[in-house]
Structure 1
Amino acid sequence: MKLKFAALALAFAAALPAHAALTNNAADIGNATVVDFNDYDGFLTIGPEAVAPGVVFTGDEGSELGAFIRDLGSNGIWGADTPFVAGGAIGELRFTFAELTSGAGALLNHFAADFFPFSVVVSAYGDNNQIIETHTLSIDTDELGYNEGQFVGITRDAADIRSISFKGNGVVLDNLAVAAPVPEPETYAMLLAGLGLIGMAARRRA
């Protein structure tokens, strides 16, 4: 009886939409793989480019893997210490995952000035390229700062993120974190079914 109730509860939970949360803490991307882009050196590309096993980059014109310097206007300067990813003018940097994930994010900043908005759009996409979560947020760092930024990520209760994108003017990012794949609800359902069969077999023997 308890097994049946657990199976019903799991099925009900799987039918509910996944809860999402915007996070500024890289530790919230559990058991993450981190992509640092140190293997690139000023590679101008719109992709697709595999930047890590199971992670493919695409971007708008002017995107650069392994950029070394960017003037971010009122948000300071990024550069010299370590390669990063940079967008051109207003555009998108997107990372698509071979396996669905429950969370992804990156250290992020962008060009800002009085005549440009202090904002960037971070979106998570599911299968079929549909947006499942999107956030517009402000990143405001010291005008005299160097390599300053903010970690921005999206976490979900279920592994339903196929890609994550960062859109804005002169977006820069580094240390992309991607949560390790977790079993999908169907996997848990099969596990419960297997346990049920084992329980039935044990009763028959008793």
Structure 2
Amino acid sequence: MKMKLAALALAFAAALPAQAALTNNAADIGNAIVVDFEAYDGFFTTGPEAVAPGVIFTGDADSQLGGFIANLGNNGIWGAGNHFAATGNIGELRFTFAELTAGVGALVNHFAMNDFPFSVVVSAYGDNNQIIETYTLAVSTGEASENEGLFLGITRDVADIRSISFKGNGVVVNNLAVAAPVPEPETYAMLLAGLGLIGMAARRRT
């Protein structure tokens, strides 16, 4: 009876829509693969380019991997020993994952000017390239800042993120964190069923 209730609960949870949260804390991504772009040195490419096992980059024209200097206007500069990914004046950086993930984010900044309300659009996409979450935010770090930014991440209660994109004017991205794959609800159900069978076999022996 308990096994049936557990299986029903898992099936019900799987049927519910995934809950999402925008986070500014890299620790919320949990056990993550981190891509720092240090393996690249000013490589202009639209991709596809494997930047880590199971992580594929694509971007618009003028996208760069391993950028080493960027003038972000009122948001200071990026570089000074740290390599990063960057768009051109206006563009998109997208990272697609071989395995669906429940959380992904990166340290982000963008070009800013007092007279223009520039911002960055962070979007998570599902398996069919549909947007499942999107946020538009402005980052403000000051003209004297160097390699500063804001961690922008999206977490879900199920692993349904296939890719993430960062769009805007002069967007820079570093330390992309991708949550390690977690078992699907069906896997948990099978695990519980297997444990139940082991328990029944043990009872029969005793």
CA RMSD of aligned residues (A): 1.3
Whole-angstrom CA distance in 2 between matches of 1:61 and 1:77: 22
Q: Report the Cα offset of residue 205 of structure 1.
A: 5.2
Note if 1:9 corresponds to 2:20: no
Question: Counterparts in 2 of 1:1-206, with a 5 A limit?
Answer: 1-202=1-202
Is the 1:102–1:161 Cα contact (8 Å) retained in structure 2?
yes
Runs (4+) of structure 1 exceeding 6 A deviation are: none
Deviations 1:100-135 (A, max 9, x none): 111010000000113432311101111011111111
Q: Report the Cα offset of residue 204 of structure 1.
A: 5.2
- Code of the residue aligned with 1:161 in structure 2: it is I
- Code of the residue aligned with 1:33 in structure 2: it is I
- Code of the residue aligned with 2:82 in structure 1: it is T
Q: Report the Cα offset of residue 83 of structure 1.
A: 0.8
Whole-angstrom CA distance in 2 between matches of 1:146 and 1:198: 58
Is the 1:122–1:135 Cα contact (8 Å) retained in structure 2?
yes
Is the 2:76–2:143 Cα contact (8 Å) retained in structure 1?
yes
- Code of the residue aligned with 2:145 in structure 1: it is G
Is the 1:35–1:177 Cα contact (8 Å) retained in structure 2?
yes
Residue segments in structure 2 that go unaligned for 5+ positions in a row: none
Residues paired across the two proteins, number: 206
Identity of aligned residues (%): 80
Whole-angstrom CA distance in 2 between matches of 1:205 and 1:52: 49
Higher alpha-carbon deviation: 106-115 or 151-160:
106-115
Residue segments in structure 1 that go unaligned for 5+ positions in a row: none
TM-score, scaled relative to structure 1 = 0.95
TM-score, scaled relative to structure 2 = 0.95
Deviations 1:141-189 (A, max 9, x none): 1112111101110011111111011011110010010111100111112
Structure 1 residues 168 and 102 mapped into 2: Cα distance closer, same or farther (>3 Å)? same
